[in-house]
Chain A
Amino acid sequence: MSTRPPPPPDEGDDFLAAEYVLGVLSLPERLAVESRLRREPAFAEKVAGWAAHFAPLDAEYPEEPAPDLMPAIEARIFGRPQPVAERIPRRRWVFAALGATAAVAAFGVYLTRSDAPRILTTRIAAADGALIFQARYSTDQNVVTITRTSGPGPAVAHDYELWIIAPGNPPTPAGLVSAATRTLIVPKLSAGDTLAVSLEPAGGSPDGRPTKVLGAGVLSLT
């Protein structure tokens, strides 16, 4: 290999965009890029540019008849009982405690091998799908990173607040999540715990209980 020096630093963003599109980055690096994509339009433009450059390669992917997963997908989204035998054991939790306004549009429900990396995720979506959060919890750091992937910030004089609900326990507040992305230090969580987002008066819940639950999702291993 030759020893030509690496490209100058101001090229870094463009290379990072290309590396993201190619997929060579590690998961933490990918998440860092995705978080920048949401708040840096110029950087997002670079990623879109590389994606467009590489898109012709998509023609190389072979078509492969997929099994009919529609019943499972619809059950996942619309909450119906699954008519097909399940490949992987799944757990579901009742959301009655969250009240009628709570709805779970969808959540990642794959529980994998016990040796899988300990990253738990969930999607928290409002009933009409107009507001979506994606949450990720890393067991080695005890932090939740929560990103609003769709929908507006809270109305004037309001805040979004994150809640943790261990099965059988009342919600405990975990911090405000009005910003597009927040990283919060939280108690130890496990797969099966529920995260919920509520709409609160500015500053957060006045009485330690969620004022209006907007959506909830169950943490599962990725």
Chain B
Amino acid sequence: MNQAASPAALFNIERDIPRMQDDQIAHLLKGVAGGDRMAFRALYSAASAKLYGVCLRILRNRADAEEALQEVFTRIWINAGRFDADQGRAMTWLISIARNHSIDRLRSRREETIDSSEGDPFAMIPDPTPGAEARAVAQGEAGRISKCFEILQPAQAAAIRGAYLDGLSYAELADRHAIPLNTVRTWLRRGLLRLKECLAG
């Protein structure tokens, strides 16, 4: 958070959750999927601090984060069988559950809408692209995004990072970066376009 302001330092995301811990969590998840309640408790011991960190950062309120964490572990119990170790890392899967639920809570708490006519966000055009991209990325190109962040305008990079980590809405991004609300979506998408071009290239 309080690192130097250069993009490289700002996106010091090379630090990684140790692979060993991930194997352990994947193993526990397998137990949970089979209805093993001791594995579920062990999973709570192993992963709750990280997941609570996610909930707390996004919800910014301990009582709310505790409620969210209960729901997150409920979902983990129910959905553990859907985790596929071949498709990604266990901790990433758990964090996505915590992020998604925290963001849902946040959005239902402070409902904010933005003009969605801009940029045709709901174009229902079927996309024939096969699934190569997700697999390629999942197979370990994790460091690439940090390099790609460096080519963005610092404000756009900070906005993308703030949205992902803190659950900032478009309204909050507009406020924080002094961008008119009706153009913030286009502005962010421009950043995403550059990011995508970089990731593809």
Contact = CB atoms under 8 A, between A and B. Distances in A.
Interface string B74-111: 10011101100000110110011001000111011101
Nearest to B127: A42
Given A61-B50, A110-B71, A150 B82 contact: yes
B95 to A, nearest CB: 5
Interface in A49-98: 49, 51-67, 69-70, 72-74, 76-78, 87-88
B109 A87 contact: no
B134 A15 contact: no
B165 A57 contact: yes
Contact of A22 (B57, B163, B180): B163
A208 interface: no
Task: Please classify how large the interface on chain B is, using the bins under 10, 10 to 19, 20 to 34, 35 or more.
Answer: 35 or more
Contact of A46 (B103, B129, B146, B188): B129
A108 B138 CA distance: 32
B173 A24 contact: yes
A10 B124 CA distance: 9
Contacts of A202: none
B173 A56 contact: no
Interface in A177-204: none
B121 A12 contact: yes
A144 interface: no
Contact of B138 (A27, A52, A87): A52
Contacts of B189: 6-7, 15, 19
A48 interface: yes
Task: Please classify how large the interface on chain A is, using the bins under 10, 10 to 19, 20 to 34, 35 or more.
Answer: 35 or more
Interface string B52-67: 1110111000010011
Interface in B100-155: 103-105, 107-109, 111-114, 116, 118-123, 125-131, 133-134, 137-138, 142-146
A6 B119 contact: yes
B170 A116 contact: no
A167 interface: no
Q: Name, among B16, B113, B192, the residue most crowded by chain A CB atoms within 10 Å (CB to CB).
A: B192
A6 B54 contact: no
Contact of B107 (A16, A27, A63, A76): A27
B164 A57 contact: yes
A59 B179 CA distance: 28
Given A7-B189, A24-B173, A45-B133, 6 more contacts: A1-B179, A4-B190, A30-B107, A58-B91, A64-B52, A69-B44
Ranked nearest first, the 3 interchain pairs of A and B with the lowest CB-CB distance are: A66-B52, A52-B137, A12-B123
21 contacts: A6-B119, A7-B119, A12-B121, A15-B192, A24-B163, A25-B107, A26-B169, A28-B113, A30-B107, A42-B127, A53-B144, A56-B16, A56-B146, A59-B15, A59-B16, A69-B69, A70-B44, A106-B78, A108-B74, A117-B108, A129-B78
